[in-house]
Amino acid sequence: MKVLHVAPLNVAGVPYLIADMQRRFGVETTLVTLHRSTLTFPEDICLDLPLPRHKLAHWWRTHKGGQPKPIERYEPSTESHTPVHSPRNVFEDVYFRYDDRRRERAVEEAIERYNLDKFEVIHYDGGMDFFRDSRTAKRWKASGKKIVCHYLGSDLRVRGIVPEMDALSQLNLTNESDHLLLHRDIHYLYIPFDTRPYVACSGHSGPLRIVHSPTNRSMKGTAFILPVIEAVKKVRDVEFVLIENTRHEEVLRIKQTCDIAIEQIGNLGGTGYGRNSLETLAMGIPTITEMTPDYRAWLPKNPFVLASRDTLFDVLLRIIDHADLRAEYASQGRTWVQQYHSYESVHARLQELYCEHHIL
């Protein structure tokens, strides 16, 4: 089987992890990304298409869907609740048309140069084609290729489905539990994660270090976390480490020196955790997050230290004051990641879904 992964960005390195997992099991797999990640995650082929990264562009992409709202329930959705992607106004429509036109040559040359037409399955990580009119996906589907849409991060929360892609897709996947709220026919898949490169933290002298590494402050509830950290620092000897806009290699090096991690508070950008937490859990770092009651009941035997905006202060003091509790969470975390996120278990589930939806 030959699988081509197409992603706008290698978001948190997850598209690469999925492709790498499939390669591990003998699948001929290539990842093509449209834009280069600033966080230096590995990539196969990057078209390096221009992407506005100035403050106004970042604000527009983050806020055009409105301010994030807390996720209250965890349950399947109906078709009427599925957000649909479309230009918000005439200016965005004009820009989208212009952007599609200027990338035509780069995409066509890449398809020919790398013989992308040879692949049998096109796995769209993000649920978007090279072009917003889905022209390449339509051509590939007409030629008999199988189409998979895999929604990551805030793809459905902020952007929504592309109707043409949704109609072409034979299988919809997500690594985000709350996406099950937002699509009528979507399947959950754990993020594949290889723990072997990650070693448990060996400890250090000095105060305990608490790390928080948001890619988007508003989505991770950083505004809720910072005041609590300041209050904790007044009563305990701790050091707070805030990591932002940093190369992934450096992020891992810093995490390795920390004792406690905070993933997110507020359920504003998801319902629990992502690759960031998988890394800290694999390092044996107790990891604090917030989950909805429904999600907590659904997620099997999870090893997270649960907190909310109201309880974070007390939860931090309890973890800080009890080394034995930190050791217990550390042991549980790495074991849980190996059980549910290993390449072996995730690949087996993906193969099941491929078979059920006639991808294989």
Which three-class secondary structure state does DSSP give residue 215? Answer: coil
Which residue carries 């990551």 as its tokens? 152
Q: What is the mean pLDDT of the chain?
A: 90
Which three-class secondary structure state does DSSP give residue 310? Answer: coil
Q: For 212-273, give the secondary structure using H, E and C.
A: ECCCCHHHHCHHHHHHHHHHHHHHCCEEEEECCCCCHHHHHHHHCCCCEEEEECCCCCCCCC
| CATH fold for domain 2-192+343-356 | Rossmann fold (3.40.50)
State whether the Cα torsion 296-194-145-130 is positive or negative: positive
CA distance to 86, 151, 170, 268, per residue, from 182 (Å)? 16, 11, 17, 15
Mean pLDDT across 91-113:
92
Rounded Cα–Cα distance for residues 252 and 275 (Å): 12
CA distance to 109, 116, 162, 240, per residue, from 267 (Å)? 42, 39, 25, 22
CA distance to 71, 272, 332, per residue, from 293 (Å)? 11, 11, 21
| CATH fold for domain 208-340 | Rossmann fold (3.40.50)
Model confidence pLDDT, tens digit, residues 162-190 = 999 999 999 999 998 878 888 989 999 99
Residue 46 phi/psi, 5° resolution? -120, 120
Low-confidence winner among 85-99, 214-228, 229-243, 332-346 (lowest mean pLDDT)? 85-99
The distance of Cα 152 from the centroid of its chain, to the nearest Å, equals 5
Whole-model pTM?
0.88
Residue 74 is predicted with a pLDDT of 47
Higher pLDDT, residue 66 or 347: 347
Closest by Cα among 169, 120, 121, 129 to 149: 169
Does the structure show a pLDDT above 90 at 95?
A: no
* Fold match flag (2-192+343-356 vs 208-340): yes
Residue 203 is predicted with a pLDDT of 67
Identity (one letter) of the amino acid at 147?
A: I
Mean pLDDT across 327-354:
96
Task: Return the domain boundaries, the chain.
Answer: 2-192+343-356, 208-340
pLDDT tier at 275 (50, 70, 90 boundaries)?
Answer: very high
Model confidence pLDDT, tens digit, residues 209-267 = 999 999 889 889 999 999 999 999 999 999 999 999 999 999 999 999 999 999 999 88
Does the structure show a pLDDT above 60 at 329?
A: yes
Residue 80 is predicted with a pLDDT of 47
Rounded Cα–Cα distance for residues 40 and 10 (Å): 9
Closest by Cα among 138, 309, 141 to 225: 309
